[in-house]
Amino acid sequence: MFIPCKSCGQQLYIPDDVKELTVCCPACQKEFVYSAESMANENVKLTANSTDPVLEQTPQEEPLPEYATRESYHQPRILKLQPFSSMDALISVFRIVSQHFGAMILMFLVLALSNSVNFIAESVLVPNSGDLMNNFLEYKSIDDFSNQFWKIYNNTETYSSKSDLLLGISFLQFVVNAFLIIGCIRLFNAYGRNQNASLGLIFSGFDSPLRILIALFQLSFLIVLFLLLAFILLFMKASIIAIIFCIVFSIFFMVFLFFLFPLIADTNLSATKSFQLSCFIARRNILTLIGVLFLSLFIMSLIGYALLALLGSFIPLSYVSLICAPITELFFIGLTSVSYLKATGQVREL
């Protein structure tokens, strides 16, 4: 693994199995003692002008205001890295949701409104698109579903003439949804720190659009690269290798970038540095984060099945999906936010 020099921040390689070692930095020639136990409890100082996360040897307490404002999410922070458990994070999410249920309803409505824009646009431009979801349970195989999909989208004159418009609307909704996610994370962070906060904080993500857009571009580039490699493996008829590659990469991708959006929401770091620091924090809690991901997928699946059982007989499946999406999205936002706070020693709601 790599650790930063305590004097100059230079990244130094330390074998994973080393518990204690006297290190001499080749950049500044300073010596310090590395200890795996003490390193896990040291602090990371987040500053916009730093080139790497800098471990603070002498922690400094950061004053926490009683009221969270937009400006407070653009200040340098000192975060204390520490381990946490996935079940502990889950319990904290449910506790915050129960204590601030009114705010959760508002966040759900805002996310549902954002998702419905794309749903309405697609329903207008491709009138039969809803049939794909509404008749999903009636398809006997993936080929039947695929044939119906191409029948609707390839043979629809309206869609052919307005596909660019639908693509533009989908992209705009994707960007706006990212801004709203940043705002929801900030509100969750305030509640996790036991701070008071205005519900208008939900819309605070629009005050730093450039950083969010750069992060989205970097994420999209990684996803496209991943899909390209997967298609190449499938084209080479290495289906088993492609499946294993997709599973491993997906876990790696989600674990190491798990804290990307919380860091963008909570600090003044750039998108690139947020990428780097997300990987840095994730390495300290990699097994826990894998557990968090599988736990979240399980609970989101339960939410989907429960909504399907409760509402599937009364409304079309496309509307069930429209209700399910913001609920699962809000749950994952809360789990991401609380995991970030716990991994950096900031949860104070207990």
Q: What is the pLDDT of residues 152-190, one digit of tens each?
A: 656 555 555 566 777 788 888 889 999 999 999 999 999
Q: Which helix (H) or strand (E) holds 209?
A: helix 209-235
Enumerate residues 6+ apart whose C-beta is below 8 A from 322. Answer: 112, 115, 116, 119
Separation of alpha carbons 209 and 22, rounded Å: 44
On whether the CB atoms of residues 284 and 261 are closer than 8 A, the answer is no
3-class secondary structure, 167 = helix
Residues of the chain with pLDDT under 70: 1-19, 25-29, 36-64, 76-78, 125-163, 233-239, 242, 348-350
List Cα–Cα distances, 305 to 59, 83, 310, 317, 322, in angstroms: 46, 32, 9, 12, 14
Instruction: Provide the angle, in degrees to the nearest 10, between the axes of the packed helices 86-99 and 157-192.
Output: 90
CA distance linking residue 221 with residue 82, whole number of Å: 31
pLDDT reported for residue 183 = 93
Strands 54-56 and 43-46: antiparallel
d(CA 255, CA 285): 9
DSSP state of 19: S
H or E element that contains 78 = strand 77-80
Q: By CB neighbour count within 10 A (0-12 exposed, 13-18 middle, 19+ buried), where does 45 fall?
A: middle
Which pLDDT score, from 0 to 100, does residue 270 have? 82
CA distance 326 to 288: 25
- Burial (0-12, 13-18, 19+ Cβ within 10 Å), 2: exposed
How many DSSP H helices and E strands does the chain contain?
Answer: 12, 9
Predicted local confidence at residue 136, as pLDDT: 56
Phi-psi region of 55 (alpha: psi -120 to 50; beta: other; left: phi over 0): beta
Q: Is 25 helix (H, G, I), strand (E, B) or coil?
A: coil
- 0.85 surpassed by pTM: no
Angle of helix 317-343 relative to helix 157-192, nearest 10 degrees, comes to: 40
Rounded CA separation 288/235 (Å)? 35
What amino acid occupies position 98? S
Q: Which residues contact 209 (CB under 8 A, 6 or more apart)?
A: 179
* Strand ordering across the sheet containing 77-80: 54-56, 43-46, 77-80
The confidence score (pLDDT) of residue 55 equals 40
Rg of the chain on CA atoms, in Å:
23
* CA distances, 242 to each of 54, 220, 230 (Å): 38, 20, 6
Q: Which residue blocks in 126-208 are alpha helix, DSSP H? A: 130-134, 142-154, 157-192
The number of residues in the chain equals 350
